[in-house]
Chain A
Amino acid sequence: AQSVTQLDSQVPVFEEAPVELRCNYSSSVSVYLFWYVQYPNQGLQLLLKYLSGSTLVKSINGFEAEFNKSQTSFHLRKPSVHISDTAEYFCAVISNTGNQFYFGTGTSLTVIP
């Protein structure tokens, strides 16, 4: 089985400041890695994913994450946050043979004006 740890449950950050949301995973098999974002009262939306290839993946709204196999991490970063980035962020993994996602407990990002 797999597990995901998001060390920070809440991250407040000022507008236009950089942010990093941490994600570590544990798995005995190869996995694919995802970040989902959940805005209030909405479902989860895929932010970005790592399947293979370049270990640095980017989203269309300025977020990026880097897969680090040796540290079993997939931290999410953004150099300059906006108010609209306020949301809950979930890191998730799925094995290369499985069907179910394993989610972290989420990080609540609050951007302060």
Chain B
Amino acid sequence: NAGVMQNPRHLVRRRGQEARLRCSPMKGHSHVYWYRQLPEEGLKFMVYLQKENIIDESGMPKERFSAEFPKEGPSILRIQQVVRGDSAAYFCASSPLDRGLEQYFGPGTRLTVT
């Protein structure tokens, strides 16, 4: 059973471009969480999704950020018009449960905005 997959592992974007981060949950998991880790900080919750539904987006910035988890395919975290402050590691976690006690983390995508 493969773990949580994230791609790309490293992503470089220029200011103003779009960044698309992908997360494939573990087999059988239908709950996905996205976290952001800024330099020198811990992980901070961004959004919690189930298939085709956003359950909790209380940690998402109000502008430029969006997330989806379609019926088929990976979950996507999309950042439009990236700025230098978006440079961070973005981690995805998946869970088989409808509560977050059992979250399995992916290796992360390190986004660098130049």
Is the pair A99, B44 in contact by a Cβ cutoff of 8 Å? no
Q: Which residues of B contact A92 (CB under 8 A)?
A: 43
Q: Cβ of B41 and Cβ of A102 under 8 Å apart?
A: no
Asked if B48 contacts A99 (CB within 8 A), the reply is yes
**A99-B33, A99-B56 known; A104+B42 contact, CB < 8 A:** yes
In chain B, positions 69-114 with a C-beta closer than 8 Å to chain A are 91, 99-101, 103, 105-108
Give the size range of B's interface with the partner.
20 to 34
- From the candidates B43, B55, B101, name the one contacting A32 in the complex (CB within 8 A): B101
Interface centre among A45, A98, A99 (most CB of B within 10 A): A99
User: Of B45, B55, B101, B105, which is within 8 A of A45 by CB?
Assistant: B105
Partner of A94, one of B43, B58, B59, B100: B100
Chief secondary structure at chain A's binding surface: loop
Distance in angstroms from A28 CB to nearest chain B CB is 17
B106–A43 contact, CB under 8 A? yes
Our pick among A32, A43, A51, A100 for the contact of B56 (Cβ within 8 Å) is A100
Q: Looking at the complex, which one of B4, B41, B55, B101 makes contact with A43 (CB distance below 8 Å)? A: B4
Q: Which residue of A101, A103, A104, A106 has the most chain B CB atoms within 10 A of its CB atom?
A: A101
Chain B stretch 22-46: residues in CB contact (< 8 A) with chain A? 33, 35, 40-45
For the A-B complex with A101-B35, A106-B42 known, give 12 more contacts whose Cβ atoms are closer than 8 Å: A44-B43, A44-B91, A51-B101, A99-B33, A99-B100, A100-B59, A101-B100, A102-B45, A103-B43, A103-B44, A104-B42, A105-B40
Please list the residues of chain B having a beta carbon within 8 angstroms of any beta carbon in chain A: 3-4, 6, 33, 35, 40-45, 48, 55-56, 58-59, 91, 99-101, 103, 105-108
27 example contacts (A-B, Cβ-Cβ < 8 A) are as follows A9-B40, A32-B101, A41-B107, A43-B3, A43-B4, A43-B106, A43-B107, A43-B108, A44-B43, A44-B105, A45-B105, A90-B43, A92-B43, A94-B101, A98-B100, A99-B48, A99-B56, A99-B99, A100-B58, A101-B35, A101-B43, A101-B45, A103-B42, A103-B43, A105-B40, A105-B42, A106-B42
Residues of A at under 8 Å CB distance from B? 4, 6, 9, 32, 36, 41-45, 51, 90, 92, 94, 98-106
